[in-house]
């Protein structure tokens, strides 16, 4: 097929375009390739805008509704760019046992979005994460690169507020 990502979405950089085309080609003929292609593409762009979903559907020769269905079904995938504060909740086994689902639900309630989504003002995203290697300290939550351990649902609001202050001070000092 002669089409390239450049003809579908103009905002991606030349290097990103090259990487996405390479990803699609590297999974050529692989059964069940849709999810890995989406996953690798999201690593390149940080999210999966509708135009890219359409491009992937064309290149993989599958209906756009199938691609969109997968993107919206799995909280791993996001259709919007990540927010300024990307809040991750570990759903690895140890954290799950320590009720990380409650942390996720509380965050969803506080921010008014679901896991994998971003607030309309672009300030917050919620990400569902796999094991972060701090299983003994679960449930584990992250905000950008910072890790918070033994998180309690009634502390979440405070943790977010403290983190925002910390980042603001960090920016002022740098
Ligand atoms: S399961 Fe959450 S850090 Fe390992």
Q: What is the pLDDT of residues 104-114, one digit of tens each?
A: 999 999 999 98
Q: For ligand 1, pick from 88, 94, 127, 129 the residue to mutate: most ligand atoms within 8 Å of CB.
A: 94
- pLDDT tens track for 20-43: 999 999 998 888 999 999 999 998
Rounded to the nearest angstrom, the distance between the alpha carbon of 98 and the centre of ligand 1 is 10
Count of all residues that appear for the chain in the document: 174
- Please tell me the distance from the alpha carbon of residue 84 to that of residue 9, in angstroms, as a whole number: 23
- Please tell me the distance from the alpha carbon of residue 151 to that of residue 106, in angstroms, as a whole number: 11
Rounded to the nearest angstrom, the distance between the alpha carbon of 99 and the centre of ligand 1 is 11
- Please tell me the distance from the alpha carbon of residue 110 to that of residue 113, in angstroms, as a whole number: 8
CA 9 from centroid of its chain's CA atoms: 20
Question: If pLDDT is split at 50, 70 and 90, which confidence band does 1 have?
Answer: very low
- Output Rg (C-alpha) for the chain, integer angstroms: 18
Average pLDDT across the chain, whole number: 89
Residue 2 has pLDDT above 50, yes or no: no
- pLDDT tens track for 115-132: 888 899 989 999 889 899
pLDDT at 17: 87
For the CA of 134, the nearest atom of ligand 1 = 3
The pTM of this model reads: 0.67
Rounded to the nearest angstrom, the distance between the alpha carbon of 161 and the centre of ligand 1 is 24
What are the C-alpha distances in Å from 2 to residues 14, 104, 126?
A: 17, 43, 37
For the CA of 139, the nearest atom of ligand 1 = 2
Rounded to the nearest angstrom, the distance between the alpha carbon of 135 and the centre of ligand 1 is 4
For the CA of 92, the nearest atom of ligand 1 = 1
Rounded to the nearest angstrom, the distance between the alpha carbon of 138 and the centre of ligand 1 is 6
């Amino acid at each position: 097929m002669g089409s390239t990502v450049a003809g579908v979405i103009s905002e991606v950089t030349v290097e990103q375009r090259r990487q996405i085309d390479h990803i699609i080609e590297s999974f050529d003929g692989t059964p069940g390739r849709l999810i890995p292609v989406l996953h690798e593409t999201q690593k390149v762009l940080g999210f999966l805008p509708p135009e890219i979903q359409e491009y992937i559907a064309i290149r993989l020769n599958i209906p756009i509704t199938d691609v969109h269905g997968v993107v919206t079904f799995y909280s791993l995938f996001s259709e919007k760019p990540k927010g300024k504060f990307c809040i991750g909740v570990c759903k690895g086994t140890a954290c799950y046992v320590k009720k990380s689902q409650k942390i996720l639900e509380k965050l969803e309630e506080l921010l008014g979005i679901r896991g994998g989504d971003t607030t309309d003002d672009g300030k917050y995203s919620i990400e569902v994460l796999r094991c972060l290697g701090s299983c003994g300290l679960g449930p584990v939550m992250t905000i950008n690169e910072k890790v918070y351990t033994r998180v309690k649902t009634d502390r979440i609001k405070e943790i977010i507020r403290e983190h925002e202050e910390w980042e603001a001070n960090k920016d002022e000092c740098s």
